[in-house]
Amino acid sequence: MQQTDLGLNLSTKKTRKREFLEQMQQVVPWKDLVALIEPYAPEGRRGQPPFPVEMLLRIHFMQQWFTLSDPAMEEALHDMPLFRDFAGLSWDSATPDESTILRFRHLLETHKLAEQILQTVTDLLVSKKLLLRTGTIVDATLIAAPSSTKNSTKSRDPEMHQTKKGNQWYFGMKAHIGVDADSGLVHTVRGTAANVSDVVEANNLLHGQETDGYGDAGYQGADKRPDMPAATPERKLRWHIAMKRSKRKALNLMETIPALQEQLEQVKSKIRAKVEHPFRVIKRQFGHVKVRYRGMKKNTQQLHTLFALANLWMARARLLVTKQSKSVMAA
């Protein structure tokens, strides 16, 4: 029994938060993800039985969607009937405390299950023919980390680093992603310190089946690096990298060849624009603008989860149509 069944929620307005959770309820492959995590979950042979894996997974995902810490998530479960309903908690059932939420996150980190969550979501999108794997767009974004030394260790995170972009200095890490050139959905995620050059991770962001790679001017020389995939009879990768800004500005568009080069740059720019959408989702939709944990491993694991959820959010309309079509056919 849920709180809405008791008539405690008298609101008739469907809020954006409620609509969001209703859509994610339908598009997240809960059964597949629970089957992935259950082998690693504690059995609880003595004492109080453990909370269901699906309940803890739903709570973990709400933390990512609404930028909630472990204590804030526990309080939200007590304060908000909407969150309790989504987690599957009845009005009189026990609520996971912040230490339980923390232990579940550590379980995912210890067994690197966030990477497998992204892979499970990617496999789902491939099976629905929403991710074609013919081309990859690569890009990176900076994610800030606390630069203050006013903490117990009197130091900044040693795994983070500072870098200069334009005329401004940043401290934190970089999220590198490989995105399907057709759909704009993420298939590969890497996390590094902020001072690592974009081109260093370029060939690590490929899934191995694409024939074309796209990147901005920061990826100049990606095809000359030692980790460049060797050509085979089945696959020969071609990098399409943007021209440097200074060189592009120097083009004389009154001449034929420079004019054609400019048109080619515009075509490449339109293709690369799709890579910005996943960054917008995790930073603006999910509010992930600053690292939450100390250390590269934990934050990279969180990035895998965030981009898996971003994929489902971006593909939700097509996934819902597919699900509704199956329901009509079954009826």
User: What's the pLDDT tens digit per position in 61-83?
Assistant: 999 999 999 999 999 999 999 99
Question: Residue 234 — pLDDT band, cuts 50, 70, 90?
Answer: confident
326: pLDDT strictly greater than 90: no
Q: Residue 105: which residues within 8 A CB-CB, separation 6 or more?
A: 60, 70
Calculate what percentage of the chain has a pLDDT beyond 90.
76
Question: Residue 231 — pLDDT band, cuts 50, 70, 90?
Answer: confident
Identity at 97, one-letter amino acid code: D
Query: DSSP secondary-structure letter at 247?
Result: H
Give just the sign of the alpha carbon dihedral 303, 307, 308, 309. Answer: positive
User: What's the pLDDT tens digit per position in 186-215?
Assistant: 999 999 999 999 999 999 999 988 999 999
Question: Residue 48 — pLDDT band, cuts 50, 70, 90?
Answer: confident
d(CA 213, CA 311): 20
Residue for token pair 């579940």: 104
d(CA 103, CA 136): 36
Would you tell me how many other CB atoms lie within 10 Å of the CB of residue 91?
A: 14
Question: Residue 47 — pLDDT band, cuts 50, 70, 90?
Answer: low
291: pLDDT strictly greater than 80: yes
Instruction: Write out the two tokens for 257.
Output: 């060849």
pLDDT score recorded for residue 7: 55
CB 101 within 8 A of CB 69: no
pTM of full prediction above 0.85? yes
Fold classification of 133-295 is Nucleotidyltransferase; domain 5 (3.30.420)
Per-domain boundaries in the chain: 3-111, 133-295
